[in-house]
A and B are shown apart, each in its own frame.
Chain A
């Protein structure tokens, strides 16, 4: 198990390098120039050259890339061109907001999704199943910004329970978490339901039934445990959503976060910020994939056996 994990971690290095090249290339494909932001009114090419030199933008792209990568590896994410602050500060400032929103939404989707999935599987084909599955489908087919706006209208404006926007205290987290969480619930519920139904048909379950174990106990102890494997894998794979997928909701609720930081920087052509936020997102995604694989290996006896 340990050697498997280590091997996978080592494999991340070439992937990381490839990703950094891709990100760097993408940034330079975006039309527009960060220097425009800094140039004084009516300045000529000389002033442009001075600013370009200050940020190393006059070097050839491979050199810029090497310099950037070298700094990143020593933990220096650079300085924001427009924001003027160290990029690490900006990212660290935004990260807690994204983490709070993303992890709570993920938690909500997981708990509610697994619960609904289990209930639906236990009542397979009955009204409860139909209602739940149609309900969660509805939650995933409405555009999230639309749902968010309706939530604001209902719970912030009409009932005045929660703030309209911003990120002040826990109360301002409720609506964004619900909005994102409801969208993710459908996926978790669907996967749980199918996995439960499938696991229920396995030989060992039939054996447990034959042994006379209480059906509810079988379902919750054995079937659910098996059914959770694909759920966990899917959740781990979607860890990128936790950090960056909330951008639409961040905009609707005027919340700070990594997504907002990235989009703003993208608009301002603030390369160092865009690069750093993309790299952090990509790393989260890679680690999420790895985590998913390891968890799957740890939970699935067959995979575990194959590895040792």
Chain B
């Protein structure tokens, strides 16, 4: 498995698109983690007299309506956006795989029930699912994470189920079973590892969508609450200042767009490297 991952990463970086996208993502994660070291400004200390400063040598990307350094806010915002989307998708993948694997493996009524619910939520606009869930859980980082997690649950359940269904009938599974392997052994030893690659790649692509969803919830004022910066939250306050200081909304929007493109391009490269396009499409 690790060897496969290594080859996949090395191969994915061979295309120019994959290299550029991978470099951006790496740089972003680096900035998010080392933000406190990389900038001398604090993300939450206001300097109202220096508000609305356009980009300058002192503030490379200008300041926001409270005189806070925008580059600093963007770096800390990356922390929020990446971790919220990443964790949400992580939970979603985990639960989705368990649900999908059991539905695919056991079949029957349980499978049908799961399929109906999953198909239905899958066809529902994610933003509505997320908005309703935030209404139940309450705004903030936790609420956003849970909402995004549930919004994408259907996708991973579907995908895992399809993978399991495809592999289930293969000869080596039959053979393993005839040798007396237990259900759990077959699921964890054969089915899940084989379904893993497509699920992980699609999880990566979904993280891109989740970043947009997180930004949208932030735009509605439901994401991370101030003074914690998030890209969506920054755009939310920037939308009212579109005229006075357009850079406040432009920059986080660009950050989201570039990051999501990078995730998509890198994801494409990974798909190619792993040669799993066909299997992803089965779902």
Contacts and interface: CB of A to CB of B under 8 A. Distances in A.
A binds B: yes
Interface of A: 15, 18-19, 22, 26, 29-31, 137-138, 141-146, 149-150, 152-153, 157, 194, 237-241, 244-245, 247-248, 251, 259, 262-263, 266-267, 278, 281-282, 285-286, 288-289
B123 A289 contact: yes
B135 A266 contact: yes
B1 interface: no
B127 A282 contact: no
B125 A240 contact: yes
B229 to A, nearest CB: 16
Contact of B124 (A138, A146, A152, A285): A285
B204 interface: no
B106 interface: no
A149 B216 contact: no
Q: What range describes how many residues of B lie at the interface?
A: 35 or more
Closest A-B pairs by Cβ, 10 of them: A245-B125, A141-B260, A146-B253, A285-B123, A142-B257, A143-B215, A141-B261, A29-B136, A244-B128, A240-B123
Contacts of A142: 253, 256-257
Given A149-B242, A286-B120, A289-B123, A245 B220 contact: no
Interface of B: 116-117, 119-120, 122-125, 127-128, 131-132, 135-136, 138, 208, 212, 215-216, 219-220, 232, 235, 239, 242-243, 246, 249, 253, 256-257, 260-261, 264-265, 281
Contacts of B256: 141-143, 146
B253 A143 contact: yes
B123 A248 contact: no
A247 B136 contact: no
Contacts of A153: 242, 246
Contact of A145 (B122, B219, B260): B219
Nearest to B277: A194
B62 to A, nearest CB: 17
A282 B235 contact: no
Nearest to A142: B257
Nearest to A236: B123
A282 B261 contact: no
B219 A141 contact: no
Given A137-B264, A142-B257, A149-B239, A266 B125 contact: no
Contact of A30 (B116, B127, B135): B135
B182 to A, nearest CB: 32
Q: Which of A138, A145, A157, A248 has the most CB of B within 10 A?
A: A145
Contact of B212 (A31, A143, A262): A143
Contacts of A15: 116, 120
Contacts of B265: 137
Contact of A240 (B124, B215, B242): B124
A31 B136 contact: yes
B235 A262 contact: no
A145 B231 CA distance: 13
27 contacts: A22-B117, A29-B136, A30-B136, A137-B261, A141-B256, A142-B253, A142-B256, A142-B257, A143-B215, A143-B235, A145-B239, A146-B253, A146-B256, A237-B122, A244-B125, A245-B125, A245-B127, A247-B127, A247-B131, A259-B128, A262-B128, A266-B135, A267-B135, A278-B132, A281-B124, A286-B120, A289-B123
Contacts of A282: 120, 124
B80 to A, nearest CB: 15
Nearest to A134: B261
A138 B253 CA distance: 12
Contacts of A239: 123
Nearest to B278: A198
B219 to A, nearest CB: 5
Contacts of B135: 30, 266-267
A305 to B, nearest CB: 21
Contacts of A285: 120, 123-124
Given A29-B136, A31-B138, A281-B124, A141 B216 contact: no
Contacts of A150: 253
Nearest to A198: B281
Contact of B128 (A143, A247, A286): A247
Contacts of A19: 120
Contacts of B239: 145, 149
